[in-house]
Amino acid sequence: MSSQLAARAQSDFDDREAANALSPPAARSPRRPRERRPRHISRTLLGLLLPSTVLIGAEVGARAGWIPSNLLPAPTQILETLADLGARGLLGHIGASTLRVAAGFGAGAALAVFLGAAVGLNRRAEAILDPTFQALRAIPSLAWVPLLLLWLGIDEAPKVVLIAIGAFFPVYMGVSSGIRGVDRKLIEVARLYRLGGVALTRRVLLPAAMPSILTGLRNGLSLAWMFMVAAELIAASQGLGYLLSDGRETSRADIVLAAIVLLAILGKASDSLMAAIERRGLAWRDSFSSTGGA
């Protein structure tokens, strides 16, 4: 009797071991993973390393007299200048420049997406439009200023149009090259499933070209800020470009550097917003960056 009970117990034990061996890893009691430090915190600290080193070096050099203060003021003096400008309507300058960039970038990007899609989807449109756009893309920003002043005067219109021109070409290049660079095999598979023109564009071409389109939008936004400065340096009574011009005319390097710092902060903030939109829109990709990189 005891031998039968022992044999049955051994059989039950063997059955449990076999079930555990065949069960998936998720069904077993998982070992609690070790808590890791948030990756974005370490990346933020690494990103602050270079500017912090430069600021500390500039502060030490200016305080020690190694750098002429009239050419490169100490960072603390630039902060004092920003505080003084804040009491004298700095927010108005920031708001004016931001609104111009938003209007010019919106208009230029919308037109670029439409024309870039037309060029990318239609060979005849590419033959008609692309050579002209490539020639216009080589024209420097300041070359447009006299013509726009003659055509549109010195109000807001020439500034917004100049910013739109700056934003147009990177977005146009991103959209048109992104669509033309879609893998031919994807299109052949879509045609095997008998997708029409609209469905093919919506379900295959646009998702495949989206990385290039979003990269073009980011580049267009950065160029919109650059063209904004060019526009406000020529004819403006308010804005960060106006502050740059005013600092140059009054030989105030602290005002010039304060405006440059604000442009860097606003440009970085807008680019970070576009980068967040890009990460959210391309979350479906299995790319090198999604694995954390090196």
Question: Which residue has better confidence, 282 or 214?
Answer: 214
Q: Rounded CA gap, 55 and 224, in Å? A: 27
pLDDT at 287: 63
Q: pLDDT-derived band of residue 22, with 50, 70 and 90 as boundaries? A: very low
Cα distances (angstroms) measured from residue 9 to each of 12, 18, 127, 281: 5, 14, 82, 57
How crowded is the C-beta side of 247, counted as CA atoms within 13 Å? 21
**How do residues 90-115 score in pLDDT, each as one tens digit?**
999 999 999 999 999 999 999 999 99
Which tokens sit at 69?
A: 């203060």
**How do residues 270-288 score in pLDDT, each as one tens digit?**
999 999 988 888 877 766 5
pLDDT at 93: 93
Q: Is 60 a residue whose pLDDT tops 90? A: no
Q: Is 33 a residue whose pLDDT tops 50? A: no
Q: Is 218 a residue whose pLDDT tops 90? A: yes
Q: Rounded CA gap, 183 and 148, in Å? A: 41
CA 248, 251, 257: angle at the middle one, nearest 5? 65
Report helix, strand and coil shares of the chain as percent, to nearest 5: 80, 0, 20
Mean pLDDT confidence for 147-173: 92
Average predicted confidence (pLDDT) for the chain? 82
Q: pLDDT-derived band of residue 1, with 50, 70 and 90 as boundaries? A: very low
Mean pLDDT confidence for 43-55: 82
Q: Is 166 a residue whose pLDDT tops 90? A: yes
Q: Is 162 a residue whose pLDDT tops 70? A: yes
Q: Rounded CA gap, 138 and 2, in Å? A: 95
51 and 224 Cβ atoms separated by less than 8 Å: no
Residue ranges in 138-287 assigned as alpha helix (H)? 141-152, 156-180, 184-192, 197-200, 206-234, 240-249, 253-281
Least confident of 68-72, 141-145, 246-250: 68-72
Amino acid at 43: R
Cβ-based neighbours of 138, under 8 Å, separated by 6 or more: none
Q: Each residue of 3-31: b (16+ CB within 10 Å) or e?
A: eeeeeeeeeeeeeeeeeeeeeeeeeeeee
DSSP code at position 235: S
Q: pLDDT-derived band of residue 291, with 50, 70 and 90 as boundaries? A: low
Q: Which of 53-62, 162-171, 274-283: highest mean pLDDT?
A: 162-171
Which tokens sit at 199?
A: 């469905």
In order of their start, the domains of the chain are 74-282 (1.10.3720.10)
